[in-house]
Amino acid sequence: MNIPFLRGGDIAPVPNSITQRCAADAPTLLRQKYGVYYNTFESQRGTRVSLGGRELVMLASNDYLGLTRHPKVVAAGKHALDTWGAGTTGARLSNGSRAYHTELEERLAAFLGKEACHVSAAGYLSCMSAVQAFAEKDDLVLADKNCHSSLIAGIGLTCAELERFPHNNARALAEILGDEPVERPKIVVFEGVYSMEGHIAPLPEILKVCAGKNCFLVMDDAHGFGVLGEGGRGTVSHFGATDKVDIICGSLSKSLSSTGGFVAGSRAAVEYLRTHSKQTIFSAALAPAQAACALAALDVLQNEPEHLARLWENTRYYRDLLTSLGLDIWGSETPAVPIVRGDKERAYFFWKKLLDEGVFAVMSIAPAVPPGKDLVRTAISAAHTAEDFAIIEKAMRSAAKAWF
Ligand SMILES: Cc1ncc(COP(=O)(O)O)c(C=O)c1O
C-alpha cells in the first residue's frame, strides 16, 4: 500500500483558507483516515485495553510503575471524592486552595529534597509556569532543542530572548554562554529524561558549563520522576545533584498515575512562581481525587520498592529484545523507548503492524520529533507481564521483518 501524503506528495497546494488548511493537514488525515490518533478504548484491565472489540497490550502508557489500579491509589481517590467533592471550582490564589494541596506539596518537596513545591491541574501548566514565571525581558533563555512543547510554550509567553542548543550538547551550551556577559540573567531549560528519545540529560556536564555564569536551571523531570535516582527521586538524585538544579518541574500523570503537575524549588522561588505564573493565577486548582491518587502513589513508591525494581527488569528485557531485532532505539537509556523509522510512511506501517499483532504503540512524527526521526514511541511499565511480553515479542519480530 502506498499513502502518498505520508511522503509529502499529495498534500494540498498551499492552503489559502483555514478551512482548506484543516482539510489538507497530515496529522488530521492520519487521525481521520488511518486511525492513528485519538483512539478511544472501550475498556481497560491492567496493561490490556480493548479497541473495536479487540484486546491489545498497551505499550504506550506512561504508567511506569503500573499504579493506576493499585488498590491504595484507587481507595485514596474514592475517599477524597467523599471528603472534598469533585473539584475546587477556583484558582489557588482565590478560593481553590485546600489542605490536601499543601499536604501533597510538602510530601513532594521532601521527596525531591527541595524546600517547597507547587502543584497544578496539569503537568503542561506546571512546566509552562516553571519558565514563564521567572523569565523577564532582556533575560536569555537557553533551551535544549528537543525540549517538550510545554517548556517552549512557557518560554513563548515571555519577552526573553531564546537560544536553542543542540540536544544534550553541553559543549554547544558552553559556547553560547561563553559569548554572554555574566551580569545577564540566564535560564537554562532542559529535561531530566527526554520523553520521545528516552535519553538522560548530561547533568554533570551542564552543571560544569553553567558554573559561575549566572544561570538559573529549570529541569522538566516528568519522565525521570519515579524512574531514576534513589527510590525514584529523579534525575538530580541519579547524579547526586539535588541542590544544584534550581527548579524541578514535572507531571503527576506518569509514575504517579494521576493527573496534574508540580514545580519544586527553594521557598523563595516557589512563592515567586505563585504570584508570577499566569498558569497558576488564572487556572482552577488540582481536583481532590487527582491529588489524593498522586499522594497515595507517592506512598506506594516509597513503601513498595518492588514496582521500581520490576520496571527496570522489564525495561532491560525489552531493550535487549528490540536491539537483538536490529531496531533503532535511538540509544534510549530509560523505560521510554522509541523505535526510530526515519520517515512517516515507515513509522506508520510499523505502527499498524504492531496494532494488527495486538500491540498498541504511538506513532510520533515531526514536529513532535526532529525531522528524519519519525518514530513509534513505546513505554515500559512495571505492570507488563510475561504474557504481555510474549505478545510484544511476536509483534516486534513480525514488524521488524516486514518490508518497511
Ligand atoms: C516532558 C514532559 N513534560 C510535561 C508534560 C506534560 O504533562 P501532563 O501530560 O501531565 O500535562 C509531558 C507530557 O507528555 C512531558 O512528556
**CA-based radius of gyration for the chain:** 21
Ligand 1 within 6 A of 222 CB? yes
Distance 148 CA to ligand 1 centre (A): 7
Ligand 1 mutation pick, 119, 150, 228, max ligand atoms within 8 A of CB:
150
For the chain, the farthest-separated pair of C-alpha atoms sits apart, in whole angstroms, at: 62
Question: What nine digits make up the cell of 93?
Answer: 490564589
From 28, 41, 88, 56, select the one nearest 378 (Cα to Cα): 56
- Ligand 1 atom closest to residue 122's alpha carbon, by position in its atom list: 11
Rounded to 10 degrees, what is the CA torsion of 109, 379, 149, 223?
20
Alpha helices in 267-343 (DSSP H): 267-276, 278-281, 288-303, 306-324
Distance 398 CA to ligand 1 centre (A): 31
From 124, 308, 142, select the one nearest 220 (Cα to Cα): 124
Task: Report the CATH number that the domain containing residue 228 is assigned in CATH.
Answer: 3.40.640.10
pTM reported for the whole predicted model: 0.94
The contacts of residue 216 (CB under 8 Å, 6+ apart) are 134, 185, 186, 187, 188, 246, 247
Q: Considering the domain boundaries, does residue 88 fall inside one? A: yes
Select from 252, 286, 303 the last residue of a domain.
Answer: 303
Q: Are residues 119 and 266 in the same domain?
A: yes
Which residue matches cell numbers 521557598? 267
Distance 366 CA to ligand 1 centre (A): 17
pLDDT score at 5: 59
Q: Considering the domain boundaries, does residue 1 fall inside one? A: no
Q: Are residues 42 and 161 in the same domain?
A: no
- DSSP structural state of residue 135: -
What distances in angstroms separate CA 321 from CA 4, 88, 167, 361, one per listed residue? 32, 46, 26, 16
DSSP SS3 for 9: coil
Select from 244, 274, 303 the last residue of a domain.
Answer: 303
> CA end-to-end span of the chain, whole Å?
11
DSSP string for residues in 22-56: HHT-HHHHHHHHH--S----SEEETTEEEETTEEE
Q: Considering the domain boundaries, does residue 4 fall inside one? A: no
Closest CA to ligand 1's atom 7: 123
Low-confidence ranges of the chain (pLDDT < 50): none
- Ligand 1 atom closest to residue 260's alpha carbon, by position in its atom list: 10
pLDDT score at 125: 98
Ligand 1 mutation pick, 151, 152, 193, 195, max ligand atoms within 8 A of CB:
195
- Ligand 1 atom closest to residue 148's alpha carbon, by position in its atom list: 1
Distance 281 CA to ligand 1 centre (A): 20
Ligand 1 mutation pick, 125, 126, 127, max ligand atoms within 8 A of CB:
127
Q: Are residues 297 and 311 in the same domain?
A: no
Q: Are residues 348 and 254 in the same domain?
A: no
Range of the domain at 185: 71-303
What distances in angstroms separate CA 108 from CA 72, 308, 333, one per listed residue? 18, 17, 25
d(CA 133, CA 46): 38
Ligand 1 within 6 A of 251 CB? yes
What distances in angstroms separate CA 217 from CA 142, 163, 272, 300, one per listed residue? 10, 15, 16, 29
129-186 pLDDT tens trace:
999 999 999 999 999 999 999 999 999 999 999 999 999 999 999 999 998 999 999 9
Distance 62 CA to ligand 1 centre (A): 10
Ligand 1 within 6 A of 124 CB? yes
- Pair 247, 264: CB distance under 8 Å: yes
Question: What nine digits make up the cell of 369?
Answer: 520529533
Select from 278, 303, 328 the last residue of a domain.
Answer: 303
pLDDT score at 4: 60
d(CA 236, CA 89): 35
Q: Considering the domain boundaries, does residue 7 fall inside one? A: no
Closest CA to ligand 1's atom 8: 123
Ligand 1 within 6 A of 123 CB? yes
Q: Are residues 328 and 259 in the same domain?
A: no
pLDDT score at 8: 58
Q: Considering the domain boundaries, does residue 385 fall inside one? A: yes
Ligand 1 within 6 A of 148 CB? yes
